[in-house]
Amino acid sequence: MRLSLCVLLVTLALCSYEANAKVCPALISEAKGFFFEPEELYNISLLRFFPPREARKAKMKVKQCVDLLPKEDRLKIYSVVEDVVSQCKLDFKYLTHESLCHSRMA
């Protein structure tokens, strides 16, 4: 329950930033990977954002906890994230996350 609340609060924080850009596809892809990709694959996908080692390790610790949740619970949490992003599109027109959208992607 605490984890889903944290994910919801982070998503809401992102939605409170009004900008003139569409939802960054990398943000959606990262969120989906966080809930559904195997740990090894997700760790590799995180590297495209060039995170500090400590941040990547912390994110992977949280991912390990998320992976312990039943898949149906992860689906429910992810659907809430999708709903929040959809609502953000309606309320604020667009959502962006500068550090994700402007990272160098190969």
Kindly report, residue by residue over 8-47, the tens digit of the pLDDT. Answer: 666 666 665 555 445 567 777 888 999 999 999 999 988 8
Whether 14 contacts 98, CB under 8 Å: no
Which ranges of 1-106 would DSSP assign to H, the alpha helix? 2-15, 25-36, 39-46, 53-67, 71-92, 98-101
Which residues 6+ apart lie within 8 Å of 35 measured at CB? 66, 74, 75, 77, 78
pLDDT at residue 65, as a whole number: 92
Q: Please give the pLDDT value at position 1.
A: 55
Whole-angstrom distance, CA of residue 105 vs CA of residue 101: 9
Q: What's residue 48's pLDDT?
A: 86
Of residues 103 and 68, the one with the higher pLDDT is: 68
Q: Does the structure show a pLDDT above 60 at 94?
A: no
Q: Are 100 and 49 in contact (CB under 8 A)?
A: yes
Cα 78 to Cα 38: distance, rounded to the nearest angstrom: 16
